[in-house]
A and B are shown apart, each in its own frame.
Chain A
Amino acid sequence: MMNILIANVRNLEAPETRVLAGELAKKHRVTVCSMDLPSRQKGNAFSYSGFPIKFKQLSSYQINGEKIPAYKFQGTPADMMSIMLGNIMRHRQPQIVICGISNGISLGTDVFCSSNVGMAMQAAFANVPCIAVGMPMRVGGHSEAELLPVAQFIAKNIEKLAKMQLPTDTFLNISFPLVKKYEDYQGVGISSMDNLTKMTRYVEKVDCKGNTYYWAEMVTRESAENAPLSPTAGMSYFQKHYIIMSPLTYDCTDYTRLSALQKGERL
Chain B
Amino acid sequence: MKILLTNEAGCFHPGIVALAKELSKDHRVCVVAPLNRLSGAGHALTTDQRPLHAQQWFVLDSVKMWSVDGTPCDCVALALDKLLLDKPDLIIAGIDPVNNRGNMIYTSGVVSAALEGAIQGIKSIAISAPIADDKKEKLYRPVAKWVARKLRYLVNCTPDFGALNVNFPTKFKPQKIMPTQLTDGLLDNDYEIEVNPFGSTYAWLKSPLREFGLEAYGQQGDLYWLKQGYITVTPLKLDLLKGEAVTALQKAGIKL
For chain B, the count of residues having a C-beta within 8 Å of the partner chain is 83
State whether B237 touches A166 (Cβ < 8 A).
no
Q: Across the interface, which residues of A come within 8 angstroms of B253, CB to CB? A: 160
| Contacting residue for B48 out of A40, A168, A170, A225, CB 8 A | A40
A118 to B107, CA, bound (A): 10
Stretch of B12-20, B77-85, B88-96, B141-149 contacting A (4+ beta carbons < 8 Å): B77-85
Docked Cα-Cα span, A211 to B185, in Å, equals 46
Say whether A16 faces chain B, with CB atoms less than 8 Å apart. no
Q: Chain A contact residues: over half helix, strand or loop, or mixed?
A: mixed
With a cutoff of 8 Å between Cβ atoms, the chain B residues found around residue A200 in the complex are 45, 47, 73, 77, 81
The bracket for how many chain A residues form the interface is 35 or more
List, in ascending order, chain A residues with CB within 8 A of B236's CB: 252-254
Residues of A within 8 A of B156 (CB): 267
Please name all residues of chain B whose beta carbon is closer than 8 Å to the beta carbon of A190 when the two chains form the complex. 246, 249-250
Q: Are B181 and A253 in contact (CB under 8 A)?
A: yes
- A43 touching B106 by the CB < 8 A rule? yes
Do A87 and B191 touch across chains, with their CB atoms under 8 A apart? yes
B107 and A160: CB pair below 8 A?
no
Inside 8 A of A227's CB, which chain B residues have their CB? Answer: 161
CB-based nearest A residue for B179: A261
Asked whether A228 lies within 8 Å of B242 as measured between CB atoms, the reply is no
Chain A residues 204-234 with CB under 8 Å of chain B are 204-205, 211-218, 225-229
> What chain A residues lie within 8 Å of B200 (beta carbons)?
54, 56
Of the stretches B21-29, B33-41, B131-139, B167-175, the one at the interface is B33-41
Interface residue B226 (Cβ < 8 Å from any Cβ of A): no
Give bound CA distance, A23 to B171, whole Å. Answer: 56
**Alpha-carbon gap, A161 to B248, bound state (A):** 11
B54 touches which of A57, A201, A214, A256 (Cβ 8 Å): A214
Q: A45-B107, A251-B181 are in contact. Are A202 and B44 (CB under 8 A)?
A: no
Chain B residues numbered 26-66 whose CB sits less than 8 Å from any CB in chain A? 37-48, 51-54
Q: In the bound complex, how far is the Cα of B190 from the Cα of A88, in angstroms?
A: 12
A121–B54 CA distance with the chains assembled, in angstroms: 32
B252 contacts A44, C-beta separation under 8 Å: no
Return the contact of B202 from the options A55, A252, A262 (Cβ within 8 A).
A55
Is residue A95 contacting chain B, with contact meaning CB distance below 8 A?
no
Chain B nearest Cβ from A63, distance in angstroms: 23
Chain A residue nearest in CB terms to B206: A48
How far does the alpha carbon of A262 sit from the alpha carbon of B189 in the complex, in Å? Answer: 32
Of chain B, the residue at the smallest CB distance from A263 is B179
- Chain A contacts for B78, CB-based, 8 A: 202, 214
- Cβ of B214 within 8 Å of any chain A Cβ, yes or no, is no
Q: Complex Cα distance A243/B73, Å?
A: 31
Check B52–A247 contact: CB distance below 8 A: no
Q: What 1/0 mask marks residues of chain B from 172 to 199 whose CB sits below 8 Å from any chain A CB? A: 0000000111101101111101100000
A42 partner residues in chain B, CB cutoff 8 A: 42, 44
Nearest CB in chain A: distance from B7 CB, A? 14
Q: How far is the CB of B207 from chain A (nearest CB, A)?
A: 6
Binary flags per residue of B218-256, CB closer than 8 Å to A gives 1, else 0? 000000000000000111111111101110111111111
Q: Which of A3-11, A27-35, A109-117 contacts B (4 or more CB under 8 A)?
A: A109-117
Contact status of A78 and B202, CB under 8 A, knowing A164-B251, A228-B118, A229-B239: no
Q: Is the CB of B107 within 8 A of A78?
A: yes
Task: Spell out A's residues near B (CB within 8 Å).
Answer: 38, 40-49, 52-57, 75-76, 78-79, 82-83, 86-87, 108-109, 111-113, 118, 121, 125, 153, 157, 160-161, 163-170, 172, 182, 185, 187-188, 190, 192, 194, 197, 199-202, 204-205, 211-218, 225-229, 243, 245-258, 261-262, 267
The 5 closest A-B pairs by CB, nearest first: A43-B43, A164-B252, A247-B245, A261-B179, A45-B42
* 16 pairs, CB–CB < 8 Å, chain A vs chain B: A40-B48, A44-B43, A49-B38, A52-B204, A113-B45, A164-B254, A167-B242, A188-B254, A200-B73, A200-B77, A202-B78, A226-B121, A252-B240, A253-B235, A267-B152, A267-B156
Q: A79-B203, A86-B188 are in contact. List 15 more A-B contacts (CB 8 A).
A: A41-B47, A42-B42, A47-B40, A111-B240, A112-B238, A157-B254, A164-B249, A169-B184, A170-B242, A201-B77, A204-B82, A215-B52, A228-B239, A249-B245, A261-B233
